[in-house]
Amino acid sequence: MSDTLNPPRKRQAVTIKHVAAEAGVSLQTVSRVINNGPNVTPAVKERVKAAIEKLKYVPSLAARGLSGSRSYLILALNDKEPTVEGWREGRGNDWIDQMLLGGMLRSADFGYRMLFELVDSHSGKMIEQIEAALLSLRPDGVILTPPHTENQAISDLLSRYGVPFARLGSRGGEDGFSIAMDDAAAASAAVDHLHGLGHRRIGFITGSPEYRASEDRLAGFRDTMHKHQCLDEGLIEPGDFSYQAGAEATRRLLALDNPPTAIIASSGEMALAVLGVAREQRIAVPDALSIVSFDDTPTMRLTLPPLTAIRQPIAPMAATAAELLITVKNGEAQERSHILPFELIVRQSTAPCPR
Amino acid sequence: MSDTLNPPRKRQAVTIKHVAAEAGVSLQTVSRVINNGPNVTPAVKERVKAAIEKLKYVPSLAARGLSGSRSYLILALNDKEPTVEGWREGRGNDWIDQMLLGGMLRSADFGYRMLFELVDSHSGKMIEQIEAALLSLRPDGVILTPPHTENQAISDLLSRYGVPFARLGSRGGEDGFSIAMDDAAAASAAVDHLHGLGHRRIGFITGSPEYRASEDRLAGFRDTMHKHQCLDEGLIEPGDFSYQAGAEATRRLLALDNPPTAIIASSGEMALAVLGVAREQRIAVPDALSIVSFDDTPTMRLTLPPLTAIRQPIAPMAATAAELLITVKNGEAQERSHILPFELIVRQSTAPCPR
DNA sequence: AACGTTCTTGAGAGCGTTCACAAAAATGCT
DNA sequence: AGCATTTTTGTGAACGCTCTCAAGAACGTT
């Protein structure tokens, strides 16, 4: 809350009224032109457009939001934790700038704005915080990013308010949109890549089991390994996306009598952990051990060696989410689940199998 | 612009009216309480607050913005280029998540929101784009980030509209706020660090001369080297913050008859370039060559070796900027230039001088 | 006790737009 | 030509809040 009462009003700006006068039509007609409404004579439309151009008119978001049924706002929920904590560990929130890029630019195409809410899942007041944002902004759609994609309390809240939402990087539940890559296919591609290099004993570190993406990646791994007749359940180690868990899983894998010659990690963090442990144990990467990472982040390229990784198309995902949320007509049935193509970026952490 | 006319109105929400009825006071009194206005009897204030709590009332940003003299919005201008282009090169826009963190959280303390505008300086329509954003959002303040901090066209535009603005990472001009670290002192600290390790021949790669920060860093370097009686103008090479320029400057420095034993780069990009060229020429870092970077980014920690760097406190800078813009009273003279403490993060790219 | 101050509260207009509906113009049909 | 229909345009209310200004209550002063 602000400390004082407000200063006097700002100077007058160009409003729809001025445009209407300039073009010699009514307010409503101008509004129709702005909103691409139907039933406007081309001549009138041109006249209005010229007036808009001439007066440099831009509609006020606040007025549109207040008056109309839409706010022209998309709210993106991001976790506060990785941003706050991550800095010291050398990582930022890799999603945010990509979301800005994809989501904001696509939103802009529709006259929308995207804005962020940093949400703290540990605060206990997360739901209240989101509810306040909903009430204050009345966004036309909400984008959920990990680790909030499959949070039931959040999706319940959004459903209760009737705000359409999209989950990014998750196949999601019954409600809302989901935009993700094909995690199973991605895992499969990673296996094929390594198998093609001659690897047969391939380790896999899973993500947190409560995420559908984790299951999918593991399923893709299992299926494809089975197809190649290389599946050894002993080479599957549980992880939870964190560096710590990745390091522990790696140690267990490397301590096996017959250790893997390659490891696929279900997250970028964990892939860095594999690399870290390998370095610690003086195991040469990629000569003695190949590594494939999920979640390609900018840092993957700067490690030594740079990591081969599955890239999740975050910017396109955010763009798709924004577009879906903006163009959704409630009532019309629509495809709720969208799969975007992943990319396998081959760098130098994968090499032919030594044996 | 949207494709169609709008759907019917949303369902009714809790408004200030309901709160007023609940508390048995007038609209205006509720408004006073919300805005922390003066002259409200404690008893009434409590009654209103209880009603707000009970009804879960949250004021509508749009209505406040439309009605009042302030929009409760801070607009942050970020360059589109590094975000779009940077991805493939393995770097994101390192500023954005830190700005979100510092700027958004501090803004929230005042009931404000911060939102971003990705601006393309090469598009030729940059000014129009910013003007449209100004008109549409009517932000109460604008934050400028590199490379827009010292763009005259932008500051002119903002002055014309009477929107307060702040430059981040720049000592800036006559108008607006500037929030920066003490670049000269930072350069000085880098020199002292290296000098303390025994280095006497220290190379310096400058930033683009049109940025005040570049001058300051160079001046700090010169002064401190002079103080240590080690200044050799031949070890100062021009750069422009880019990797390319950094690489070229490094090659020139290393090709000298008596090359430096340490190099200070005026940007993180250029520091990476120094490291890249050193690796290329099989010069051991830090054994044969020490490196200090300006602009500590998450990637600095992941290089081999991790880079010693000056950290610019981006999040605190953004927080300060937000607070200044929100609390500025026009009319009152205020300190326009704010200096925040930097940090010298010593990692493994600096070591005692070999000779 | 009568009056001017200050403190507290309230009433009404207005912010810039869209919505619902009504009026006017153009079109089609018999 | 005359009337029903459709297309195009306009009117007034509403959105939820703050601003301006005025009224009422509480206080002190002579």
Residues B176 and B284 in one domain: no
Enumerate residues 6+ apart whose C-beta is below 8 A from A183. A171, A213, A216, A217, A220
Amino acid at A250: T
Among A61, A118, A138, which would you mutate to test the B interface (most chain B Cβ atoms within 10 Å of its Cβ)? A61
B42 touches strand C (CB under 7 A): no
A29 CA – D11 C1', rounded, Å: 12
Residues 245-304 of B with CB under 8 A from A: 298-304
Q: Which two tokens stand for residue B54?
A: 């009970």
Enumerate residues 6+ apart whose C-beta is below 8 A from A7. B69, B70, B329, B330
Q: What is the 3-state secondary structure (H, E, C) of chain B?
A: CCCCCCCCCCCCCCCHHHHHHHHCCCHHHHHHHHCCCCCCCHHHHHHHHHHHHHHCCCCCHHHHHHHCCCCCEEEEEEECHHHHHHHHHCCCCHHHHHHHHHHHHHHHHCCCEEEEEEECCCCCCHHHHHHHHHHHHCCCEEEECCCCCCCHHHHHHHHHHCCCEEEECCCCCCCCEEEEECHHHHHHHHHHHHHHCCCCCEEEECCCCCCHHHHHHHHHHHHHHHHCCCCCHHHEECCCCCHHHHHHHHHHHHCCCCCCCEEEECCHHHHHHHHHHHHHCCCCCCCCCEEEEECCCHHHHCCCCCCEEEECCHHHHHHHHHHHHHHCCCCCCCCCEEEECCEEECCCCCCCCCC
How far lies B59's CA from each of A66, A158, B10, B31, B104, in Å?
12, 19, 16, 9, 19
Residues from chain A contacting residue B74 (CB–CB below 8 Å): none
CA distance B309 to B307: 6
Q: Is B31 a member of any domain?
A: yes
Nearest by CB to residue A299, choosing from B56, B131, B302, is B302
pLDDT of residue B84: 54
Residues B125 and B268 in one domain: no
Q: Domain of B162?
A: 73-181+314-339
Q: Which two tokens stand for residue B236?
A: 């100062």
CA distance A55 to A18: 8
Q: Is B139 a member of any domain?
A: yes
Q: Is A23 a member of any domain?
A: yes
Q: Is A32 a member of any domain?
A: yes
A20 CA – D11 C1', rounded, Å: 14
Task: Kindly state whether B101 is in contact with chain A, defined as any CB-CB distance less than 8 angstroms.
Answer: yes
Q: What is the 3-state secondary structure (H, E, C) of A292-329?
A: EEECCCHHHHCCCCCCEEEECCHHHHHHHHHHHHHHCC
Task: Kindly state whether A354 is in contact with chain B, defined as any CB-CB distance less than 8 angstroms.
Answer: no
A345 CA – D10 C1', rounded, Å: 60
Q: Is B348 a member of any domain?
A: no
Q: Is B143 a member of any domain?
A: yes
CA distance A336 to A314: 18
Nearest by CB to residue B137, choosing from A2, A61, A116, is A61
Residue A342's beta-bridge partner residues? none
Which residue has the closest alpha carbon to C10 C1'? B26
- Do B60 and A138 make contact, defined as CB atoms within 8 angstroms? yes
Residues A241 and A162 in one domain: no
Q: Is A191 a member of any domain?
A: yes
Among residues B340, B175, B214, B195, which one has the least CA distance to residue B261?
Answer: B195
A111 CA – D5 C1', rounded, Å: 35
Contact B72, B140 (CB under 8 A): yes
B14 CA – D23 C1', rounded, Å: 29
Residues A126 and A137 in one domain: yes
Amino acid at B3: D
Nearest by CB to residue A118, choosing from B32, B105, B299, is B105
Q: What is the pLDDT of residues A87-135, one digit of tens each?
A: 444 445 678 888 888 999 999 999 999 999 999 888 889 999 999 999 9
Chain D bases under 7 Å from protein CB?
7-12, 14-20
Residue B291's beta-bridge partner residues? B263
CA distance A183 to B146: 37
User: Other C-beta atoms within 10 Å of A177: how many?
Assistant: 23
Distance from CA of A115 to the nearest CA of B (A): 6
Residues B156 and B257 in one domain: no
CA distance A88 to A75: 27
pLDDT of residue A322: 97
Among A5, A70, A326, which would you mutate to test the B interface (most chain B Cβ atoms within 10 Å of its Cβ)? A5
A37 touches strand C (CB under 7 A): no
CA neighbours within 13 Å on the CB side: how many for A63? 12
What Rg do the C-alpha atoms of chain A give, in angstroms?
Answer: 25
Q: For B88, which residue in chain A has the nearest alpha carbon? A: A298
Among residues A200, A51, A232, A73, which one has the least CA distance to residue A142?
Answer: A73
Residues A177 and A324 in one domain: yes
- Do B60 and A5 make contact, defined as CB atoms within 8 angstroms? no
Task: Kindly state whether A105 is in contact with chain B, defined as any CB-CB distance less than 8 angstroms.
Answer: yes
Residues B222 and B306 in one domain: yes
pLDDT of residue B5: 56
Enumerate residues 6+ apart whose C-beta is below 8 A from B311. B296, B342, B343, B344, B345
- Do B87 and A298 make contact, defined as CB atoms within 8 angstroms? yes
Residues A156 and A218 in one domain: no
Contact A315, A289 (CB under 8 A): no
Mean pLDDT by 10 residues, chain A (355 residues): 50 85 93 89 92 95 94 94 52 75 94 94 91 96 92 94 94 87 97 98 95 94 97 96 93 97 94 93 95 85 86 93 90 84 95 89
Which nucleotide is at minimal CA–C1' distance from B60? D16
- Do A97 and B115 make contact, defined as CB atoms within 8 angstroms? no
Residues A155 and A92 in one domain: yes
Contact B172, B337 (CB under 8 A): yes
Only one residue has tokens 């090359």, namely B259
User: Other C-beta atoms within 10 Å of B284: how many?
Assistant: 12
Among A100, A304, A345, which would you mutate to test the B interface (most chain B Cβ atoms within 10 Å of its Cβ)? A100
Q: Is B217 a member of any domain?
A: yes
Nearest by CB to residue B91, choosing from A34, A93, A298, is A298
- Do B5 and A35 make contact, defined as CB atoms within 8 angstroms? yes
Residues A21 and A84 in one domain: no
CA distance B314 to B99: 7
Residue B39, domain CATH = 1.10.260.40
How far lies A194's CA from each of A199, A220, A263, A344, B77, in Å?
6, 14, 9, 12, 44
- Do A6 and B84 make contact, defined as CB atoms within 8 angstroms? no
Straight-line distance from the first to the last Cα atom of chain B, in angstroms, rounded to the nearest whole number? 67
Number of independent structural domains in chain A: 3
Please, where are the H alpha helices in chain A?
A: 16-23, 27-34, 42-55, 61-67, 81-86, 94-99, 105-109, 126-137, 152-161, 183-196, 212-227, 243-254, 268-280, 314-327
CA distance B67 to A162: 26
- Do A87 and B94 make contact, defined as CB atoms within 8 angstroms? no
Only one residue has tokens 């935009």, namely A179
Residues A223 and A149 in one domain: no
Among A40, A87, A129, A131, which would you mutate to test the B interface (most chain B Cβ atoms within 10 Å of its Cβ)? A87
Amino acid at A120: D
3-state class percentages of chain A: helix first, strand second, coil last, to nearest 5: 45, 15, 40
Residues of chain B with pLDDT under 70: 1-12, 82-93, 330-332
pLDDT of residue B110: 94
Residues B137 and B203 in one domain: no
pLDDT of residue A2: 40
Task: Kindly state whether B113 is in contact with chain A, defined as any CB-CB distance less than 8 angstroms.
Answer: yes
CA distance B300 to A184: 33
Residue A197, domain CATH = 3.40.50.2300
Residues from chain A contacting residue B75 (CB–CB below 8 Å): none
